[in-house]
Amino acid sequence: MRVAATGGMEIAAIVMASGFSRRLGLNKLLLPLGEGTVIGHVLEQIGRLGYSPVIVVSQYDEVLTQAQAKGFCPVRNASPAEGKSSSIRLGISALTGLVEDRGLPAPRGVSFFTGDQVLLSDKLLTGLQEAFRAAPDTIVFPAYDGAPGSPGTFPLDMAPRLMELRGEEGGMSAAKETPDRIRLVQAEPGWQGLDIDTAQTWERVLTLWHSEWQQQEKRVFG
């Protein structure tokens, strides 16, 4: 399974939204946030920033319905217990199908998003896009207080290796095999990388959402 990149500079997005939220005890993707939900915010931001195509992999009907309503490609994950690698493989397979079967232009790279990072600023994501477009053979990660994290952007020549991932292996496992290709973009502030794993992190995300993060977004992009 191989998709050759075209001369264009489009970046696809694969949203991995199949987790069980075991530590939180309820589906974090459907938690209310602003005028919508956690996953709704993530999908709206990805669509606004021009990723194309956008593939959403989930075990949840509600998430797949939201994805389809936005014109994205919904992909059902029937084996979510296998771990995050199952969403990666399903996403890449769907991207291959969109390009080879439906004739969509092949993107130059693909960014892998989690469904619960709602504090990422448009400025950071735009910076990641620009970094990849400037060096499309690299693997680009945001760095949160010095540590690389999600969303990672990969050139399509990495797709075969990503398809080999199993269990809870993520893209970082594959990227570390070619450290010379990794490029980091510093995230300021570092708390943008927070995801929602526990009631405590959800409370912190909400506090930031309603104060610093929201005001920053309004100043820069409002």
Instruction: State residue 219's pLDDT score.
Output: 39
Of 35, 54, 38, 37, nearest in space to 46 by CA: 54
Instruction: State residue 1's pLDDT score.
Output: 40
- Which residues in the chain land under pLDDT 50? 1-8, 218-222
Instruction: State residue 189's pLDDT score.
Output: 93
Give me the chain's average pLDDT, please.
89
C-alpha–C-alpha distance, residues 80 and 148, integer Å: 25
Instruction: State residue 3's pLDDT score.
Output: 45
Instruction: State residue 24's pLDDT score.
Output: 74
Domains contained in the chain, CATH given: 11-221 (3.90.550.10)
Q: Note the pTM of the prediction, 2 decimals.
A: 0.91
CB 107 within 8 A of CB 154: no
Is the dihedral angle over the CA atoms 26, 32, 37, 38 positive or is it negative? negative
Instruction: State residue 2's pLDDT score.
Output: 45
Of 221, 145, 152, nearest in space to 181 by CA: 152
